[in-house]
Chain A
Amino acid sequence: MSPILFWAFSALMLAFGVSVILNRDPVASALSLVASFLCLAALFVGLDAFFIGVIQVLVYAGAVMVLFLFIIMLLDLKAEKRRSFNKFALLGGAAVTALFVAGLLKVISAFPAGAKPFPALGVASVDDVRQVGLAIFTRFNLPFQTVGVLVLVASIGVIVLSRRQLK
């Protein structure tokens, strides 16, 4: 994979990801998340996963985050006040992170095959949208219908939750 664009987009994505957490202003956090999603989409495109990349923009940046921003603005959420940090929570968090990193390093060092460069993938002859389509509608038809049921449950849930205001 290309050094320059890959590192640029990864660094940007992580930077925006950090800014989601560090920002006290909810609007800034939401917009950082959008920017992070856009960089993630660019990384997908870098992996030749064009369809997933564009869906990332269409669904997450264009639909889900619009809802987030909508709610933040309509409820007029103000920036949180800066709290003093709880020392014990901070220490505990640091300990958990250190343990996690140690575990990760141990696993990586115990897996020598992981250090080898990944063999080059062949160039796909059929474009990725077609392959996604064939996979969904032939092999994964049942999971596909299940997704339909999940979305149905969600849409009924949405209406039930706001029912009191309706009629």
Chain B
Amino acid sequence: MFLLCFMKSDYLPILLQVLVAIGFACSALLVSLLLGKATRRNATKDTAYECGMIADEGPQPRFSVKFYLVAMLFILFDLEIVFMYPWAVIYKDAILEYGASIFWSMFSFVGILTLGYVYAVKKGALDWKS
């Protein structure tokens, strides 16, 4: 009786589309596995590709801390953007109903976060040249 209630009928098709996409990707791989030329292995083919040089099997290269920094700053600013979407949706109606407070509310929120952004820029966290 309430099967449809689980997902508003708008959302069920998304699930179906994802399943179709997964089905397409998997079956493409499967068909290619069945039809493709049989694999012939040899030692050279099994080495990592390094433009014909003998692969250097040293430890994994070390990376600049900036890659982590960018990923973490991304999460924080992503949060800022997430709050902007409901704001954008209600803005046109709310500005009539509640006046300019809706504008200043977001302005101060972004202002607070911009302090962090300015700090990051000043500390050179976003400068990749060095």
- The answer to whether A and B touch in the complex, with CB atoms under 8 Å apart, is yes
Q: Which applies to chain B's interface (DSSP): helix, strand, loop or mixed? A: helix
Interface contact A64-B75, CB-CB below 8 Å: yes
Interface contact A2-B71, CB-CB below 8 Å: no
Interface window among A46-54, A83-91, A96-104: A46-54
> How many B residues have CB within 8 A of the partner chain?
52
* A6-B6, A45-B7, A167-B124 given; A136·B71 CB < 8 A: no
Interface contact A144-B109, CB-CB below 8 Å: yes
> How many A residues have CB within 8 A of the partner chain?
49
Closest-CB distance, B82 to chain A (whole angstroms) = 6
Interface window among A17-25, A29-37, A108-116, A158-166: A158-166
Interface window among B19-27, B29-37, B38-46, B111-119: B111-119
Query: A-side interface residues toward B, CB under 8 Å?
Result: 1-6, 42, 45-46, 48, 50-51, 55, 58-59, 63-64, 66-67, 70-71, 74, 76, 129-130, 132-134, 136-138, 141, 144-145, 147-149, 151-152, 154-156, 158-159, 162-163, 165-167
